[in-house]
Chains A and B, each alone.
Chain A
Amino acid sequence: KQEVTQIPAALSVPEGENLVLNCSFTDSAIYNLQWFRQDPGKGLTSLLLIQSSQREQTSGRLNASLDKSSGRSTLYIAASQPGDSATYLCAGENTGNQFYFGTGTSLTVIP
C-alpha cells in the first residue's frame, strides 16, 4: 500500500526566506502528483499538478518537481510571505484515479 511522507511536519521561517518542502512515496509508481494548500478550517486548494510526462511545474513563486525514479517530490517557495502560512499537502495519483495524500507540512512565515 502506498505510504506518503512529508518532511518536515512543521516549519517556521522569517519572511523573505526561500524554503523547500519534501514529499516521498514508498511506491515510486506514481502517475501524477499534485501539491495542495490547506488553510485552517478550509478545504484543499490545488497549487500545482505535475502530469506523468512532466518533471516540474511552476506558478509564480512556487516550483514543484517530481523524481519518479526515487519517488520524491519537492515544493520550492521563493521569497516567502506571511500569506503563505498554511498546511501544504502532496498527493500522488495512480493510473486508476486514486490519490494518496501525505500528512502535510505546517508552514508559518513570521513577519
Chain B
Amino acid sequence: EAQVTQNPRYLITVTGKKLTVTCSQNMNHEYMSWYRQDPGLGLRQIYYSMNVEVTDKGDVPEGYKVSRKEKRNFPLILESPSPNQTSLYFCASSLLGSGNTIYFGEGSWLTVV
C-alpha cells in the first residue's frame, strides 16, 4: 500500500529541546516536502527535496532543518523549538515533475511550551 509515514503523530515538548519528526515513503518518489498547517493560513511549505542530497527552502524555513540522505526518508529537525512552531506538520511526496499526485502523511501535531 502506498504510504507516507510520519512519527511522532503527537508531541508536546519544551522550548529549546531539539526534536526530529521522521517521514518515510514507500513509493520510490524523488520529491518530498514538509508543510505546516495553521488556522487561517492554510498549508505553507517549509522545505522540499527533489532527490537525495538535494534540498531547498520553501516559504517558511526559519527554525527548521532537513536532510535527505536516503530516497525514502526526509526528516524535519527543529534544533531549538519555540512556541511559534506549535503547529500541525505534514510530510508529502510525489514523483518528480509537474502534474503528479501528491501523497500526504497523516500529520504530526507538535506543541511547544
- Please give the distance in Å from B109's CB to the nearest CB on chain A: 8
Chain B interface residues (CB < 8 Å from chain A): 4, 31, 33, 35, 40-45, 48, 50, 58-59, 90, 92, 94, 96-107
CA distance A104 to B43 in the complex (A): 10
Task: Report the nearest B residue to A46, measured CB to CB.
Answer: B101
- Which residues of chain A come closer than 8 Å to B102, judged between CB atoms? 34, 44, 46, 91, 99
- Which residues of chain B come closer than 8 Å to A43, judged between CB atoms? 4, 90, 104-107
Give the total number of A-B pairs whose CB atoms are below 8 A apart: 66
- Please give the distance in Å from B60's CB to the nearest CB on chain A: 12
A32 touching B107, Cβ below 8 Å: no
B90 touching A44, Cβ below 8 Å: yes
CA distance A41 to B108 in the complex (A): 9
- Which residues of chain A come closer than 8 Å to B103, judged between CB atoms? 46
CA distance A104 to B97 in the complex (A): 25
Contacts known (A46-B103, A52-B98); A98 close to B90, Cβ less than 8 A: no
- Please give the distance in Å from B24's CB to the nearest CB on chain A: 14
- Which residues of chain A come closer than 8 Å to B48, judged between CB atoms? 97-98
A102 touching B42, Cβ below 8 Å: yes
Contacts known (A42-B107, A43-B106); A34 close to B101, Cβ less than 8 A: yes
Bits for A20-58, please: 1 = Cβ < 8 Å to B, else 0.
Answer: 000000000001101010000111111001011000000
Task: Report the nearest A residue to B103, measured CB to CB.
Answer: A46
CA distance A103 to B43 in the complex (A): 7
A97 touching B107, Cβ below 8 Å: no
CA distance A36 to B99 in the complex (A): 14
Contacts known (A44-B90, A98-B48); A4 close to B42, Cβ less than 8 A: yes
Among all A-B residue pairs, the 8 with the closest Cβ atoms? A43-B104, A101-B43, A103-B42, A51-B99, A44-B104, A43-B106, A101-B42, A46-B101
Which of B50, B94, B98 makes the CB contact (< 8 A) with A31? B98
Which of A49, A89, A101 makes the CB contact (< 8 A) with B101? A49
Contacts known (A34-B102, A43-B105); A98 close to B40, Cβ less than 8 A: no
